[in-house]
Amino acid sequence: MEKPPEIKRITVKEGEHETDIFIPQSEDRGYDEYLAEAETEKTSNELRKKPPRPEQKVSDKEMGEMLRERTEWRRSRGFNRKYF
């Protein structure tokens, strides 16, 4: 009966994020090291990426109207743009 391949576990940390990679080992040590390095680099690049930006709940048109109303309110109260 054939023995199942050993599995190497690598923990990748990038900033506050951490994940584990599982790599099956083969007879070729050089290939195993190359594969481990490539997967570690790929995973750390993925962890470094910023999370996707959430969808805007208010449309651009509504946002423009709210900003215009706020600007008008500030002008009516005499706020100086330089300081606020």
- What is the pTM (predicted TM-score) of this model? 0.55
pLDDT score of 40 more than 90: yes
Could you state, in order of their start, the residue ranges of all structural domains in the chain? 7-48
Over residues 15-27, the pLDDT tens digits come to: 888 999 999 888 8
User: What is the Cα–Cα distance from 35 to 39, expressed in whole angstroms?
Assistant: 6
- Write the DSSP string, 18-63: EEEEEEE--S-HHHHHHHHHHHHHHHHHHHHSPPPPPPPSS-HHHH
Apex 36 CA angle, 31 and 42, nearest 5: 125
Confidence of residue 33 (pLDDT cuts 50, 70, 90): very high
Check residue 69 and give its pLDDT: 94
